[in-house]
Structure 1
Amino acid sequence: MVDGRRESMNPLSKRSLIVFTIVLIVVLLSTLIVYERVVRRVAAKDIVGVIDVRGYIIAEEDRDLYVKAVRLALENESVKAVVVRVDSGGGIAPFCEDVYLSLRKLAESKPMVVVIEGIAASGGFMIALASDYIYATPSSLVGNVGVIALAPVIVVPTEAILETGPYKYAAFSIREFPFTVRRILNNFLEIVEERRGEKLNVSITEVAEGKLYVGLRALELGLIDGIYSYPEAVARAAELAGVSRYEVVDLTRLVEESEPTNLGRSLWEGSKILSPQMLRRLSRSPMDVYLIPSFLINESELYGLRAWGFEESETPEINVTGRVVIDLSHKNAFFPLLMVEFLRRINANGVKFYLNTGNLTRILEMKPKSLVITTPYKEYTPSEVKAIREFVENGGKLLLMHDPGAYFPSYMNFISHEFGILFATGYLYNLDDNYGIYRNIPVRNFTRSELTKELREVVAFTCTAVYCHECEVLAITSNTTVLSILDVTGPHYFIVRKGDVLAIGDLTFLMDPFVVVADNSKLLDNIVEWLIED
């Protein structure tokens, strides 16, 4: 003030003050509205709360949405009962388990009813098991109990990165990983047994098969308690709570109003299937374990047909007479980096091997000692098949190994049928007698042969059956082993020989590190001796 009077307020400052006041009022009103809806509304009268478990549970915000809805129900006395609506294919294992455990705590405090509308598969079904009262609509899909796990990475050490222990980088042993997965599955099965108890009309072994059942069949098997619609489930929850006048409040929606982001729901509502890369990124764990049906994961990435890295190419002329030739010219499922022990033992017996990526017919004309063919991803021509047949007729030995985890047996059978041998489509599994998981098969029945000497047990890793007409059967699975697709229970042939042709329904059992499991190493010795003997 220059003349003793107050200066009038600057118009710009006055406008800023007005804007600030308006914003402050809006914020206060919004806070009061949220408080009114989330707290006072819940406290106003008897309420049946609804927790809507819909979509994937693959991110922290997915899990937190349901955990916070549970907390809201627990902390408000006006919530007399809760209905959990489930339409979910599950998600990342720890997140699903968190939601299940939170709901169990709620079910121990207040009446809680689950109604399945659409699907409750894998982790979605685990969540449903939190309640003593599980209902579903008639055609809803229920079950798919099981685990999908991505195996640990194979560590290639480098001097640029130093770690202090052999599992510091990968965190898990590849050889022991099936048993880790089995423990997670057993936990799931124990939850099913504990929660359904005497209501179950199906063996826990069948539950472990991972089947999905429609609601009506799930009721017959004791996986659910009745066929109810959502309104009937609400009425049932109110009845259990002993209330007749109540309001139904969607607790999940109240939580969403303050935290609207939900990845799992948005992907589900957009009918999106999941990619393994996204799941691995979201899990942020060295062990990627999912309680999700495989049909909700991109199969081309998860189980995709593998295009092997060896194309037919011209190679320098090498004399392969007397060598063991391993054919790689048809994108064969053979990994030199993981077959070092196989190659080493050939060399240890004073015989050289040759990895062929060139013209197979010309190579066979040089009269190698034996030929190894693993699952091809590319068809052999009629002239090549003829050359292979003539090679065997002239005293050469042929080892055929088909791995159903690599590709279909079509191209392999194009060769093997020339010798009266066929590899089955599908894979063998055993839910009770296995090495960690159902498709790692122990084989203990052997006939007497130089190829089976000193063998008591061999473990195959995703193998198939071998059919043979008038041949020598060397290894047979147990009579409880099942061939998928046909669902035929064994025993099944695993190793057969017909003259100078040896056929085996697996390849992985010879790979590092699986070659040291059980008597696999002894079987490898026997195979190598057979390949190199005159």
Structure 2
Amino acid sequence: MQGFRKKGLKIIVVSLILISFVAGFLTYPLIEKLAIRSVPDEIGTIEIRGYVLYSQDLEYLLKLIDYAKTHSSIKAIVLDIDSGGGVSYAFEQLYYSIRLVSKTKPVVASISGLAASGGYYLAASAEYIYASPTSFVGNIGVVAFMPERVYPVPSIMETGPYKLSGFNLTSFPLQVNDAISNFVNNVKEGRGGRLNASPSTLEKAEIYLGSEAKSIGLIDEVGSIEQAIDKAASLAGITNYKVSILNEIIPNTFPFSTLAISPFSLELNDSFLSGIYPPPAIYCIYSPFLANYQSQPLKQITYPNGLQETNTGEDVIIAYAYRNAFSRDEIESLLTEIILNGHTFSFLTDKSQLQSKLMNAKAFVVIAPTESFSDRENQIVKGFVERGGKLILISSILRASQKEINSLSYGFGIVFSSSYLYNLRSYYGIYRYIFVSNFTINGNNNFNIFKNVSKIVMMTASPIYSSDINEAALTDNGTYSFVSDKTMQYTPIVVSYNGRIVAIGSFEMFTQPFITLYGNEKFEENIVNFMFSG
């Protein structure tokens, strides 16, 4: 009897185990679903503040993006942006990374203060963009620092002319143009049919208030970060969720990070940027400090004491007593052309010698002075021209104000504008390297300074106005003046004063490597021939 009870007890225990197993097997899917539902849905926000200048900052942001992508509880992403951009390649990578994530999870951008240049590049990767009414949006474009010209040294043997520098200076502006084209094309891709601005409008790199940005389709709505979060949840189809700031889950430990620094507190200038990436470098960046730095004219490049030893004679006098902002190396092509034509040159380094220097000279060349001509000096130069001497006036708005060169040119009815010219349709590499191919010649003039020249490229040229034009180079109708922002035909080169004065609004077109472009070299040759024409 006792054995029967033990046997019955065993049967009951085994039965209970079997029942529990079957019940567990049948209810497991329900338990699993309940367990999954116990993990709340999340909206992951990624804060992008300040600038992305170091590779470590890029890696950090990519890590946050990857976290949002791989965690199933995160159903949508909000980019919280207050950035002036940074190094170009970083924002290209961020753009493509976000576009990839947006194929599986909604991405919404919120601009809380600044989304300029690279900051907007990142915003354009999102499906939907909010901005506060007075936030700054746009500044689509790049800033590039030219590579240095590198010469061979005896101790290094390289296998090609660009092996040491890596860049051809002549083609570098075209590479910069490729960078801005990629930027604009990605903005067009990100915004699609909502974009109401042409590529040329975008390339002007203007900054718009949030309310203005909506009218041209750079953003979708004026609103706050809270609205952006609500939109992200709506796109993800969730109503019960929590907001997780991913920067708090994965802190940035890089000690030199430029993230989380206000774009208006970090003093960016070329020295700061060059310390991170020596030229050449390309940035999608905006900073008021960088703009203020770039607006300052270049200082005079001081010659060594042996300057006088380079003089070969006094056919052509080249002014250098007025703190002229150029170096001898920059005008090597001009000096070579003078010598090859059988003539001589001399530098004027002492103002007191102006009259004696011009006594037997054929031509007087004035390039980018940073000190004004006195009334007496004006009279000396005017007497020289009226005796048949030729005056060549060349300005550079990048190096000096126009006030100083106008202190001489006014006396001849010539005015160098304080603006510069640009063209958004026809240019070499960047918008202010303009093509000029329309030349007018007065039939009474006995020398054609544009002979055999079909097209030239002028770098950051100033328009010139004259009361008496014998010849002129005219831009096309799509050319803008930076100051007036008006499109029309401008004259950056004029021949005036009965064919005795040539005024040119761009010195840089005569420097390497730009002197070799199109008809620039032939134009320089014509100028030298003009100096000695009858």
Both proteins in one fold, TM over 0.5:
yes
In structure 2, C-alpha distance between the alignment counterparts of 1:414 and 1:270, rounded to whole Å: 38
In structure 2, C-alpha distance between the alignment counterparts of 1:63 and 1:215, rounded to whole Å: 26
- Give the counterpart of 2:270 among 255, 273, 276: 276
- CA offsets per residue over residues 269-314 of structure 1, 9 Å max, x none? 7811213233233236x530010125242643x4542111247999
One-letter amino acid matched to 1:480: G
Give the structure-1-normalised TM-score.
Answer: 0.87
In structure 1, C-alpha distance between the alignment counterparts of 2:73 and 2:314, rounded to whole Å: 85
Q: Note closer, same or farther for the CA distance 1:78–1:296 as it changes in structure 2 (3 Å cut).
A: farther
Q: Determine helix, strand or coil for the equivalent of 2:120.
A: helix
In structure 1, C-alpha distance between the alignment counterparts of 2:471 and 2:153, rounded to whole Å: 45
Name the counterpart of 2:10: none
| Contact preservation (8 Å) 1:440, 1:461 | yes
| Contact preservation (8 Å) 2:362, 2:531 | yes
Structure 1 residues 467-478: aligned runs within 5 Å = 467-478=465-476
In structure 2, C-alpha distance between the alignment counterparts of 1:211 and 1:243, rounded to whole Å: 37
Give the CA deviation at 1:322. 5.2
User: Which segment drifts farther, 269-278 or 418-427?
Assistant: 269-278
Gap runs ≥5 in structure 2: 1-34, 442-446
In structure 1, C-alpha distance between the alignment counterparts of 2:324 and 2:130, rounded to whole Å: 50
Name the counterpart of 1:520: 520
If you compute each CA radius of gyration, which structure gives the higher value, 1 or 2? Answer: 2
User: Which segment drifts farther, 479-488 or 158-167?
Assistant: 158-167
Give the CA deviation at 1:176. 0.9
Matched, 1:381 2:363: no
Matched, 1:344 2:336: yes
Name the counterpart of 1:436: 429
Name the counterpart of 2:83: 88
In structure 1, C-alpha distance between the alignment counterparts of 2:98 and 2:178, rounded to whole Å: 23
Name the counterpart of 2:532: 532
Q: Determine helix, strand or coil for the equivalent of 2:288.
A: helix
Q: Note closer, same or farther for the CA distance 1:528–1:191 as it changes in structure 2 (3 Å cut).
A: same
Q: Determine helix, strand or coil for the equivalent of 2:59.
A: helix
Structure 1 residues 345-424: aligned runs within 5 Å = 345-359=337-351, 360-424=353-417
Name the counterpart of 1:456: 454
One-letter amino acid matched to 2:267: I
Give the CA deviation at 1:430. 0.2
Matched, 1:59 2:51: no
| Contact preservation (8 Å) 1:274, 1:298 | no
Q: Note closer, same or farther for the CA distance 1:319–1:464 as it changes in structure 2 (3 Å cut).
A: closer
Name the counterpart of 1:209: 204
- CA offsets per residue over residues 214-263 of structure 1, 9 Å max, x none? 00010010111101111111111111111111111101221116x35462
- CA offsets per residue over residues 5-28 of structure 1, 9 Å max, x none? xxxxxxxxxxxxxxxxxxxxxxxx
Structure 1 residues 500-519: aligned runs within 5 Å = 500-519=500-519
Give the CA deviation at 1:319. 10
Q: Note closer, same or farther for the CA distance 1:472–1:294 as it changes in structure 2 (3 Å cut).
A: farther
Give the CA deviation at 1:153. 0.4
Q: Note closer, same or farther for the CA distance 1:209–1:400 as it changes in structure 2 (3 Å cut).
A: same
Matched, 1:113 2:111: no
| Contact preservation (8 Å) 2:301, 2:325 | no
Give the CA deviation at 1:473. 3.2
One-letter amino acid matched to 2:162: Y
Q: Determine helix, strand or coil for the equivalent of 2:262.
A: helix
| Contact preservation (8 Å) 2:368, 2:405 | yes
RMSD of aligned C-alpha atoms?
Answer: 2.5
Give the CA deviation at 1:84. 0.7
One-letter amino acid matched to 2:487: T
| Contact preservation (8 Å) 2:56, 2:254 | no
One-letter amino acid matched to 1:510: F
Name the counterpart of 2:213: 218
User: Which segment drifts farther, 316-325 or 186-195?
Assistant: 316-325
Q: Note closer, same or farther for the CA distance 1:380–1:483 as it changes in structure 2 (3 Å cut).
A: same
| Contact preservation (8 Å) 2:112, 2:135 | yes
Matched, 1:73 2:68: yes
Q: Note closer, same or farther for the CA distance 1:111–1:184 as it changes in structure 2 (3 Å cut).
A: same
Name the counterpart of 2:31: none
- Give the counterpart of 1:264 among 258, 265, 283: 258
| Contact preservation (8 Å) 1:324, 1:532 | no
| Contact preservation (8 Å) 1:89, 1:296 | no
Q: Note closer, same or farther for the CA distance 1:43–1:66 as it changes in structure 2 (3 Å cut).
A: farther
Q: Determine helix, strand or coil for the equivalent of 1:339.
A: helix
Matched, 1:145 2:143: no
In structure 2, C-alpha distance between the alignment counterparts of 1:317 and 1:79, rounded to whole Å: 74
Give the structure-2-normalised TM-score.
Answer: 0.87
Give the CA deviation at 1:380. 2.2
Give the CA deviation at 1:440. 0.6
In structure 2, C-alpha distance between the alignment counterparts of 1:495 and 1:206, rounded to whole Å: 28
Q: Determine helix, strand or coil for the equivalent of 1:493.
A: coil
Q: Determine helix, strand or coil for the equivalent of 2:43.
A: strand
Name the counterpart of 2:29: none
One-letter amino acid matched to 1:372: V
Give the CA deviation at 1:164. 2.4
Name the counterpart of 1:165: 160
One-letter amino acid matched to 2:435: P
Q: Determine helix, strand or coil for the equivalent of 1:82.
A: strand
Gap runs ≥5 in structure 1: 1-39
| Contact preservation (8 Å) 1:451, 1:527 | yes
- Give the counterpart of 1:179 among 157, 174, 181: 174
Name the counterpart of 1:479: 477
In structure 2, C-alpha distance between the alignment counterparts of 1:395 and 1:231, rounded to whole Å: 75
In structure 2, C-alpha distance between the alignment counterparts of 1:160 and 1:298, rounded to whole Å: 40
In structure 1, C-alpha distance between the alignment counterparts of 2:492 and 2:222, rounded to whole Å: 45
Name the counterpart of 2:188: 193
| Contact preservation (8 Å) 2:115, 2:137 | yes
Q: Note closer, same or farther for the CA distance 1:88–1:294 as it changes in structure 2 (3 Å cut).
A: closer
In structure 2, C-alpha distance between the alignment counterparts of 1:317 and 1:240, rounded to whole Å: 75
| Contact preservation (8 Å) 1:121, 1:292 | yes
In structure 2, C-alpha distance between the alignment counterparts of 1:95 and 1:169, rounded to whole Å: 25
Structure 1 residues 11-90: aligned runs within 5 Å = 44-90=39-85
User: Which segment drifts farther, 361-370 or 506-515?
Assistant: 361-370
Name the counterpart of 1:18: none
| Contact preservation (8 Å) 1:465, 1:505 | yes
| Contact preservation (8 Å) 1:473, 1:493 | no
- Give the counterpart of 2:320 among 328, 333, 338: 328
Q: Sequence identity of aligned pairs in percent?
A: 33
One-letter amino acid matched to 1:379: S
| Contact preservation (8 Å) 2:314, 2:345 | no
Q: Note closer, same or farther for the CA distance 1:105–1:132 as it changes in structure 2 (3 Å cut).
A: same
In structure 1, C-alpha distance between the alignment counterparts of 2:127 and 2:310, rounded to whole Å: 72
In structure 2, C-alpha distance between the alignment counterparts of 1:120 and 1:318, rounded to whole Å: 52
Q: Determine helix, strand or coil for the equivalent of 1:263.
A: coil
One-letter amino acid matched to 2:372: E
